[in-house]
A and B are shown apart, each in its own frame.
Chain A
Amino acid sequence: MQIYLPIAEVSVNIFLLIGLGGLVGILSGLFGVGGGFLMTPLLFFIGIPPAVAVATEANQIVASSFSGALAHFRRRTIDIKMGWFLVAGGLIGSAFGVQIFKILRDIGQVDLLVKLCYVIFLGIIGSLMLWESIRALVRSSKKNRHIRIRRHNWVHRLPLKVRFRASNLYISCIPPFIIGVIVGFLAAIMGVGGGFILVPVMIYIIGMPTKVVIGTSLFQIIFVTGFTTLLHSTQNYSVDALLALILLIGGVVGAQIGTRLGVYLKAEQLRILLALLVLVVCVKLGLELLLMPEELFSLQEITR
């Protein structure tokens, strides 16, 4: 059954969309990743214009992160104060990102920007993930090693210190703010939540306790992707609410299935497959940029 997407202005099979949402949902439930960084390029591949894919993904992530954050809110595993500092940076980064997006859209280079960012980030994430999971496999055959996290580094020498009770930290508010800006920028130009950057930075650089990290990052992502959705709708008219809703239906169901599958499957070994999938998407996008395209000419409608 075909469904006509009003903003993307294409007809797509609705079951394909639900299936994609479900597949990415399963992966995100299984591995605890957001899934935006996989869904957006998959949307390019099925013919959704990149500008619409990015803005719509931001909208979909509002739903998935809100759904996830509610559970953490009930368990009180969110550092709200830290969250607000991250949000403050995120809003600025997002506003900046949407402006760049709009300028590049007007000169016809937005597809290039989005695809280049994806090739770079998917390349980095995929390689790191592959490296980590291979190391984990090797390590699991040996004895469990204790990983020590350094709690005192250069971050603790920065000024403007603030007390974060929930995280039991007294640190400068500059690092959370800056990481917020970066993640907000990525949300605007890539349609990702940015958890894959937030979470490691919160653990290894800011030094937050692991139990509040996921909740706090979800808390920030709700506000930043929400703000990004609003900016993309007013600046670029590129949010497809119908597409977001369909992806979401597949996504939430998939995430629940994924979480349950995670109990039975060895996620550590499956992580290699996820890493390979990420690298395949990266290579496919990269080839689109490197190989001579079949069609050299492209058409753009002049936006109002």
Chain B
Amino acid sequence: MIRSCLTIIMLLFLGAKNAYAEESSNKLVSDLENKVIDITSNFDGSELFIFGASRNPVNQVSDTKRGIIIEVIGTTKSRIVRKKEKKFGIWVNGTKEVLAGVPDFYHITSTREINELLTASNQQNNAIGIINHLQKENSHVNHDILNALIKIKEQKNLYQFNEGTLELKENMLFSTKVSLPNNIAEGFYIIKTHLTARNKVIDVTKQLLVVKKVGIGNFLFNMAHNSPFTYGIFSILVALISGWAASEVFRRLRG
């Protein structure tokens, strides 16, 4: 934490130094405290600390549309959404829809409600908001299905919506903590920070977060997918050895 505070202070100075270069291309800086998160065998979730500053606060203080939107977007994958239907008196999986580019994880936070910062068309053009992400690659898919997907993910705490909770200190500095639950998948996560003003996105920064399995879990997962036959034999051997060990231990105990 001390390290990140120091970085913020450094950013502050940088911001002050560049206050004159108002319309320079870099109006926004942001960074992550940790760029790598390890999923260990006893992984029970983690926290991602994102912080940054915008550089030209002075002349836009009165602009209410000025704000920050931060999105954390997990690795995207294709997913199948199935809807249960009642057949022969029981509920079975019926119609299905294949969705492309579904993020494993999604978090959005902003200084105000997104609708107050950007017009709907600008949200869509910049693919801000989970529904716009999903629609970009699945324009043919019914909205009900996309909303069902979002709901399932939200229940697992994998999609998190915190609009309007981000605080902009001195109209310049921001920081947020994103809690990553223990069921997150490994992969590359993109952190997008948008600076908005006058209903438009005026700058974007991107950071990459690597979430990876480590230790015995990683070893088993890779073996299971890269050399499944060896993994199968290994699993059987582990079982046979433990079975034998158990029988020996209890034979000795019985005397």
Contacts and interface: CB of A to CB of B under 8 A. Distances in A.
Given A108-B93, A299-B79, A248 B239 contact: yes
Given A4-B43, A108-B80, A293 B91 contact: yes
A128 to B, nearest CB: 24
Interface residues of A, number: 58
Contacts of B247: 66-68, 70-71
A46 B105 CA distance: 22
A97 interface: no
Interface stretch (B24-32, B200-208, B220-228): B220-228
Contacts of B220: 6-7, 240-242
A229 B239 contact: yes
A301 B77 contact: yes
Given A239-B224, A245-B242, A234 B232 contact: yes
Contacts of A234: 228-229, 232
Contact of A248 (B81, B84, B242): B242
B255 interface: no
B216 interface: yes
A263 interface: no
Contact of B235 (A2, A3, A239, A256): A239
A1 interface: yes
A298 B224 contact: no
Interface stretch (B34-42, B112-120, B162-170): B34-42
B246 A229 contact: no
A112 interface: yes
Interface in B207-225: 213, 216-218, 220-221, 224-225
A4 B250 CA distance: 30
A40 interface: no
A109 interface: yes
Given A63-B242, A289-B91, A296 B83 contact: yes
A237 B243 contact: no
B229 A2 contact: no
Given A4-B42, A289-B91, A9 B185 contact: yes
Contacts of B58: none
B221 A64 contact: no
Given A66-B244, A108-B93, A2 B42 contact: yes
A4 B240 contact: no
B49 interface: no
B239 A62 contact: yes
A252 interface: yes
Contacts of A147: none
A138 interface: no
B193 to A, nearest CB: 28
A304 B228 CA distance: 13
A11 interface: yes
Interface stretch (B6-14, B130-138, B144-152): B144-152
A300 interface: yes
A256 B252 CA distance: 13
Interface in B56-97: 77-84, 86, 89-93, 96
B82 A300 contact: yes
Nearest to B220: A6
B201 to A, nearest CB: 30
A233 interface: yes
Given A70-B247, A233-B229, A252-B242, A300 B80 contact: yes
A147 B41 CA distance: 54
Given A67-B247, A233-B232, A6 B80 contact: no
A272 interface: no
B182 interface: yes
10 contacts: A11-B182, A11-B183, A67-B244, A70-B247, A233-B229, A234-B229, A239-B224, A241-B235, A244-B239, A299-B80
Question: Which 9 residue pairs of A and B lie closest in terms of their CB atoms, listed nearest first?
Answer: A233-B232, A66-B243, A297-B148, A62-B239, A252-B246, A230-B232, A67-B243, A63-B243, A63-B239
Interface of B: 39-44, 77-84, 86, 89-93, 96, 98, 145, 148-149, 151-153, 155, 182-183, 185, 213, 216-218, 220-221, 224-225, 228-229, 231-236, 238-240, 242-244, 246-247, 250-251
Given A6-B224, A70-B247, 4 more contacts: A4-B39, A4-B213, A60-B239, A71-B251
